[in-house]
Amino acid sequence: MKFHGESLLRDVIKMIADEMKIAREALANGKIGRSRTAARRAIGMAMQQTLGIGPQGGYAKTFIDGLKRLADDPQMPEPIRAAALRLITRVDREYNSPAINPVADAEIIIAHFLPNQKF
């Protein structure tokens, strides 16, 4: 895992916690789409710090591309791939989504990249 300084890591951890709070509140209020969006942002921030996401990132250029790659990455544990797949699968015509609990999926993925943190 690569981190870019303790101060930056603290800032990123706070931003992840803020996004996870938004995701939890949205899920509790029945706004699964908003929950899913916030959960994916939180995951993206964790991946950005550990794998490299962004224009110069080695793993992927965007958070969504990173999730897509996680879903297909045979080096990742199955629970990580499954959670990523649920979060990237588009809703169907009836607005059903396999991501029925985006918070739980985000927690699975973030715990893999930031194992000593609680969000």
Residues 12-38: tens digit of each pLDDT: 899 999 999 999 999 999 998 899 999
Do residues 20 and 44 touch, judged by C-beta distance below 8 A? Answer: no
Domain count for the chain: 1
The CATH number covering residue 53 comes to 1.20.120
Is 119 part of a structural domain of the chain?
A: no
- pTM comes to 0.85
Does residue 1 lie within any of the structural domains? no
- Note the pLDDT of residue 98: 72
Residue 84, domain member (yes or no) = yes
Q: What is the pLDDT of residues 72-109, one digit of tens each?
A: 999 999 999 999 999 998 777 776 667 789 999 999 99
pLDDT the model gives residue 1: 46
Residue 118 lies in a domain: no
Domain that includes residue 64, residue range: 6-113
Give burial (CB, 10 Å; 0-12/13-18/19+) of 18: middle
In 3D space, the residue among 60, 61, 82 whose CA is nearest the CA of residue 71 turns out to be 82
Could you report how far apart the first and last alpha carbons of the chain are, in Å? 18
72 near 80, Cβ under 8 Å? no
Residue 80 half-sphere exposure toward CB, CA atoms < 13 A? 18
Instruction: Convert the pLDDT of each residue in 36-66 to its tens digit.
Output: 999 999 999 998 888 877 777 678 888 889 9
Residue 64 maps to a domain: yes
pLDDT of the residue at 4: 54
Burial class of 30 by CB neighbour count within 10 A (0 to 12, 13 to 18, 19+): exposed
Q: Which is more confident, 37 or 2?
A: 37
